[in-house]
Amino acid sequence: MPLVRIMHSTFFIIPLAILASTGCSAHRNSGSSQSFPVNNSRPSTVPAPATPPVTTGTIVTPARPKSGHVTLVNGSARYVVVTFSLGQLPAHESHLAVYRNGLKVAELKVTGFSRDINAVADIVMGECEVGDEVREN
């Protein structure tokens, strides 16, 4: 029995060793280990080849800026209350532009007070009226 066991293991070990050694030598002789020169000079000014844009069929719609309208104006204290859509309140200290009939008439800076859908903003430049449109810059 021991002779059969030795012959049986030999028939598996020898082909495995041959297969492993030829696999390693094939990669070594194929020239796959190339050495690339290191270039420490300035990068070349040759532009990269233009690649065509990839069309995936996805339609990307730009996000709309947050917009609202002026609901209260205090001209003597130079502040306004602006009403926005739900979830559209601008960030604290952000700058807003005020438009009337499509023309920019004022700039606002959001102060720290905002509640529900209303935000208080200081008038930085220009004049506001109730109903003016307010948009993020």
List, as one string, the DSSP characters of 59-123: ---PPPPPEEEEEEEETTTTEEEEEE-TT-PPPTT-EEEEEETTEEEEEEEEEEEEETTEEEEEE
What is the C-alpha to C-alpha distance for residues 135 and 65, in angstroms, rounded to an integer?
Answer: 7
What is the C-alpha to C-alpha distance for residues 137 and 131, in angstroms, rounded to an integer?
Answer: 18
Q: pLDDT at position 87, please?
A: 82
Helix and strand numbers, DSSP H then E, in the chain: 1, 6
- Tell me the whole-structure pTM to 2 decimals: 0.53
Please give the structure tokens belonging to residue 100.
């009337």
Q: Which residues of 23-53 are buried (b: 16+ CB within 10 A; e: fewer)?
A: eeeeeeeeeeeeeeeeeeeeeeeeeeeeeee
Give me the amino acid identity at 92. Answer: H
Radius of gyration of the chain (CA): 36
Written as tens digits, the pLDDT of the chain (137 aa) is 566 666 666 666 777 667 666 665 555 555 555 565 665 666 656 666 677 666 677 877 776 778 899 999 999 999 999 999 888 888 889 999 999 999 999 999 998 778 889 999 999 999 999 999 999 88
Instruction: Indicate the CATH number for domain 67-136.
Output: 2.40.10.170
Please report the sign of the dihedral spanned by the C-alpha atoms of residue 88, residue 92, residue 94, residue 96.
positive
Contact 42, 59 (CB under 8 A): no
Q: pLDDT at position 4, please?
A: 62
